[in-house]
Structure 1
Amino acid sequence: MNTLRKLIHHEIWIAVAFVTLCFLALFFFFDFIDELPNAGGNNNLYQLRHVFGFVLLSVPSHLYELLPITVLIGTIFVMSRLAKSSEFTILRTSGLTPLMALRSLLGLGLAFVLITFAVGDYLAPVCDRYAQLLKSKYLGTQIKVGNTGAWLRESQPQQKVFLNINRLSADGSPQEIRIFEFNAAGEWVALSKAAGAQIEGGVWQLQQAERQAIQGGVDTQRLKITQQDTLAWPSEITSEMIAVAILKPGRMGTVDLFQYIKHLSANGQATQRFEIEFWKKVFYPLSCLVMVVLALPFAYLHSRSGNITSHVFGGVLAGISFFLLNNVFGYLGNINNWLPWFAAAAPGLLYTLASLAAFGWLVIRQ
């Protein structure tokens, strides 16, 4: 059994690696062509090597998105080739039962799950951040945060705070900051403006700060304006929370997303969208298991039922449909207020049931 498992696993590893490399090369070429016009910008500071570095740092994100699809295509290719050459028939006569084949592929799928999780949770977020900072530093542009900036809310003792960040600098620090403070009755009490800030251990060091605050009683209220080079502002909002608010939630790590959801929930803000993204981050690596199960029935197809090319093409279509369905369920779950875990897990469950049904039917027919 170990010999059979090593044979199948070895073939699948090679096929998946080859398919993944081809897809990554294709995406690298498209990204490079798309970024090439920026070369020579900012008085020729943004050179060709920076373009190459930016595109190279974008590869882990593509790898994370492509892995389930390439696992499906590579596994289908191997299973179809084994069926076409009657090698799988020989393996079956050698004692490879359907349950053993399924268990063997699930073990291999678990390895792909761990790789996908590591890439999506650790490698891709770091590379994405460095890619943006690299482009911002040498191209001379700041990272614009939408039309109105990123808004975050924080409840502090006896007051509520709304934080607005308009830009990120080349090193990732917040720029063009506005802090609105309201008392427990919902009345505005202060506004702080700053050109930038450095976050150090739960304290924001606001730079070139201006603070406008209402002082005095009801009858003697007056507006006091003070300006300081640096102003300390204690806050639990971290740079990771800012990154979640600014970047795509799907590009962030699972732990960062979970902490941001807790922050939103503690401040009475809507969390549906981010909860769906969190559960998608949890379930997406598991889709590799779904893909290997989906590919297994191709090993039980008769050689006359189609050639390898048609099987691989069918695998590509299945992978694309899974990717689209995964996105569609995310939007539908957000619109219809579905349970976040259900919206994230439903596509994988549907494809798992379909693949197991196809596998069971082919086994019984054979």
Structure 2
Amino acid sequence: MRILQRYFGTEIIRAVLFVMLALLALFSFFDLMAELPSVNKGGYKIQHAIWYVCLGLPGYVYEFMPIAVLIGTIYVLSQFASNSEFTIMRAASMSTLMAANMLIKIGLLFVVLTFIFGELIAPSSSKFAEAMKLTALGAAESQEFRTGLWTKDLIRENGLKGNIIGSRFLNVKEILPNHQLNEVKMYEFDKNFHLVREVTAKNATYQGKNVWRLFDVNETSFPMTLSAEDITNVKSQQWNSQDVISEVTPDILSVLFADPDRMSAIDLASFTQHLAENKQDNERYLIAFWKKITYPFATLVMMALALPFAYLHVRSGGTSLKIFSGIMIGMVFYLINSLFSHLGMLNTWPPVFTALVPSFLFLGLALLGLRYVERN
């Protein structure tokens, strides 16, 4: 069995790598064509576009791993069937359960690789790619908003710790590639949502440890109860600079522009908690978080889907037809996986249910396929 295990593993890994390289080459070409209109804007040159596309490849590896595993495994098992190798293996007392066990061991390797690309490589490369592109494009491509970007955090007694004493709404007109904020407005409320302070600043820079330094600051303080008699108690002050401690960091601001599917589970968990603490809708990020946790195991489901093809002999269709079937099954899985994410948000389904249903549907399809080929 060790020899068979090694033989299965070598052939499947080789086929999966070949399919993955083909998919990456195809989508790299499409991405490069999409980047060409941005070339020569600011300092963005063709080498920047090529580098940007290359940095996006780890994200595609993560997304296409289940599809590549499905197509590669179908190809190998179809070759075994067409050469009668699988028939000989079965005659040598290899049961369906033993074959499935060998595929699971190989699939676990792809599960680990998918986790590594999804959690470590792809999120970091995506952030670096976006930062590189914005820096090369310069001010012409800074994140600028018509009505400003809005976000919210909590005000605590001792900065980031202690009891909650209020909330702060932050509005930013423009975010530069170096995380500098331009035209900043902050509205601070007490626990009863009475406006107590309004702060405007020309710009702000991040100093680290949750500290933002505001420049050219205008601060207006309001009394707890504002009436005609209290209008004289409204105080306005001006400062050259002022430090503000906030839960909002450049990482949280970058999340607002990032595709949740390209974020790591750790970042998603942190941002989801931030939204929950501020009583904001986090459904989209919760679904993305659970998809991030469960998606790597979809490679095992794809292995199970490929196994019935080993029982189909040449008379049931050539290898090319089986590969085409694998491509179509992979595309359907990819589309259904995306579809359920949107359906989950529209129907407020539990995030875990939304993330798991596509994999369970295809696992059921794999079991039905195995039952059919064994009976026939």
TM bin (shorter chain): over 0.9
Name the aligned partner's letter for residue 272 of structure 1. E
Inter-partner Cα distance in structure 2 for 1:277 and 1:215: 43
Q: Deviations over 1:180-237 (max 9, x none)?
A: 2112221222222332321411222224433333258743344433333432111222
247-256 or 175-184: which moved more? 175-184
Matched with 2:230 is 220
Contact 1:120 / 1:253 at 8 angstroms: preserved in 2?
yes
169-178 or 331-340: which moved more? 169-178
Distance 1:116 1:165, change over 3 A: farther
Displacement of 1:117 after TM fit? Answer: 1.3
Inter-partner Cα distance in structure 2 for 1:217 and 1:83: 81
CA RMSD of the aligned region, Å?
1.9
Name the aligned partner's letter for residue 6 of structure 1. R
Give the 3-state SS of the residue equivalent to 1:191 in structure 2: strand
Q: Deviations over 1:123-151 (max 9, x none)?
A: 11111111111111111134426654443
Name the aligned partner's letter for residue 117 of structure 1. F
Contact 1:257 / 1:278 at 8 angstroms: preserved in 2?
yes
Contact 2:204 / 2:212 at 8 angstroms: preserved in 1?
no
Matched with 1:24 is 24
Name the aligned partner's letter for residue 202 of structure 1. N
Matched with 1:37 is 37
Inter-partner Cα distance in structure 2 for 1:83 and 1:199: 63
Query: 1:197 aligned to 2:205?
Result: yes
TM-score (norm 1): 0.93
Give the 3-state SS of the residue equivalent to 1:284 in structure 2: helix
Displacement of 1:67 after TM fit? Answer: 1.1
Structure 2 unmatched runs, 5+: 156-163
Inter-partner Cα distance in structure 1 for 2:145 and 2:330: 32
Matched with 2:154 is 155
Inter-partner Cα distance in structure 2 for 1:61 and 1:227: 47
317, 340, 343: which one aligns with 1:329: 340
Contact 1:182 / 1:188 at 8 angstroms: preserved in 2?
yes
Distance 1:58 1:167, change over 3 A: farther
Displacement of 1:244 after TM fit? Answer: 2.1
Name the aligned partner's letter for residue 264 of structure 2. G
Structure 1 unmatched runs, 5+: none
% identical aligned pairs: 36
Distance 1:31 1:95, change over 3 A: same
Contact 1:175 / 1:197 at 8 angstroms: preserved in 2?
no
Query: 1:359 aligned to 2:370?
Result: yes
Displacement of 1:73 after TM fit? Answer: 0.8
100, 103, 107: which one aligns with 1:102: 100
For this pair of structures, how many residues does the alignment match? 363
TM-score (norm 2): 0.91
Inter-partner Cα distance in structure 1 for 2:58 and 2:182: 28
Inter-partner Cα distance in structure 2 for 1:94 and 1:173: 68
Name the aligned partner's letter for residue 8 of structure 2. I
Inter-partner Cα distance in structure 1 for 2:204 and 2:15: 50
Matched with 2:308 is 297
